Amino acid sequence: MAEAAKNLLDVDELVVHFPTGRAGQVVHAVNHVSFAIAASQTLGLVGESGSGKSTIGRAITRLIQPTSGHIRFDGLDVAKMTPAAFRPLRRDVQIVFQDPWGALNPRLSVRRLIEEPIALHMGMSASDRRAYADDVAKRVSLSTQLLDRYPAELSGGQLQRVCIARAIATSPRLIVLDEPTSSLDLSVRAEILHLLAELKRDTGVTMLFISHDLSTIKLICDKVMVLYLGSVVERGDTQDVFGNPAHPYTQSLLSAHLSADPRQKMNRHVLKGEIPSAIELPPGCNFAGRCPVALDTCSLQRPPLLPVQGGEHLAACHRISDGGNRLVLAP
């Protein structure tokens, strides 16, 4: 999608397939996904298990090798780079994981963990590095007392701050966040989201925010992309997608969310069945098997990603043209 401003990240026809060990069989994790993120924007990637959202995050940060497609970071295609060639770029592309306990080496002190990316990319003297790490810790509201402790002594929220500190230490231009608050308690989630919003405001960093939690996405993302079984089903500005969801899956997903308010009546469409296997993709639309408004054509032809009402809100559904994509939500 050609945009007037230059995009920081441009993903074109990304395909990631994993071997299953059986000859001829692959897991179709990501199938021809294309999107772009403009500088300083936050794009949300929403989906359930098998949607490919985490895989996309790892492909962009080259923790896995894409099967085909292009990943252009500021114009430079990194999809086919060797790990060694990509390593210097890690200064500019960082990632925060879902599990802060698992992501931090328990044998290293918090200070050494924060200093690590600085030491790897920023060529400073030891004392400069120390002062710089103190500064980064302050920016994530991590008390300097904690710097000399070890991960086992910190709480989940504090550990995730350490992970964010590691991610921002080199002032990267793009940060991928893979479910950064899903393992944390409610009150801690709020703090971390506030922290991320502040970082966004103060540094203008571009973010790719991966989550299955719609209310979190709504809070922090400018644009959102909905994935199902490795393909994009809907994409656009957050208020468009949340306010006027076009794809039946998006509508169902939004309706399934339980609000923390008993007065709000549940108005849901409960989908039948489960997410099918990604090894043998159904022909036509991936969602046809569970879609309440599917027609015969839906199982035969893959729907293209087209604008819903002109503009930048896109969805991939055959029924949009005849208006049959609206789900009736029962209380």
Question: Residue for token digits 């790490």?
Answer: 133
Contact at 8 Å (CB) between 244 and 250? no
Joined together, the tokens standing for residue 233 give 């089903």
Give CA–CA dist 237/61, Å, rounded.
24
Nearest distance, CB of residue 66 and other proteins, angstroms: 16
Q: Which residues, including other chains, have CB under 8 Å from residue 284's CB and lie 6 or more apart? A: 297, 298, 299, 300, 301, 302
Nearest distance, CB of residue 91 and other proteins, angstroms: 7
Q: Where are the beta strands (DSSP E) in the chain?
A: 7-19, 26-38, 42-46, 68-73, 76-77, 93-96, 174-178, 206-211, 223-228, 231-237, 306-307, 314-315
86 residue type, one letter: F
Nearest distance, CB of residue 182 and other proteins, angstroms: 10
Nearest distance, CB of residue 107 and other proteins, angstroms: 4
Contact at 8 Å (CB) between 117 and 166? yes
> What single string gives the DSSP state of each residue in 27-76?
EEEEEEEEEEEETT-EEEEE--TTSSHHHHHHHHTTSS--SEEEEEETTE
Nearest distance, CB of residue 82 and other proteins, angstroms: 12
- Nearest to other proteins of 102, 307 (CB atom): 102
Nearest distance, CB of residue 217 and other proteins, angstroms: 9
Residues binding other proteins (CB under 8 A): 48-49, 58, 61, 63, 83, 87-88, 90-91, 94-95, 97-99, 102-108, 116-117, 120-121, 155-158, 163, 166, 185-191, 193-194, 197, 212-213, 215-216, 218-220, 252-253, 256-263, 266, 268, 270-275
- Nearest to other proteins of 252, 325 (CB atom): 252
- Nearest to other proteins of 83, 310 (CB atom): 83
Joined together, the tokens standing for residue 315 give 């969805």
Q: Which residues, including other chains, have CB under 8 Å from residue 163's CB and lie 6 or more apart? A: 96, 97, 100, 103, 104, 180
Contact at 8 Å (CB) between 232 and 33? yes
- Nearest to other proteins of 105, 301 (CB atom): 105
- Nearest to other proteins of 58, 301 (CB atom): 58
Q: Which residues, including other chains, have CB under 8 Å from residue 269's CB and lie 6 or more apart? A: 251, 252, 255, 256, 292, 327, 328, 329, 330
Nearest distance, CB of residue 141 and other proteins, angstroms: 8
Nearest distance, CB of residue 311 and other proteins, angstroms: 26
- Nearest to other proteins of 22, 263 (CB atom): 263
- Nearest to other proteins of 194, 326 (CB atom): 194
Give CA–CA dist 142/146, Å, rounded.
7
Question: Residue for token digits 């049959």?
Answer: 324
- Nearest to other proteins of 212, 302 (CB atom): 212
Give CA–CA dist 314/143, Å, rounded.
44
Residue 190 host element (H or E): helix 186-203
- Nearest to other proteins of 94, 231 (CB atom): 94
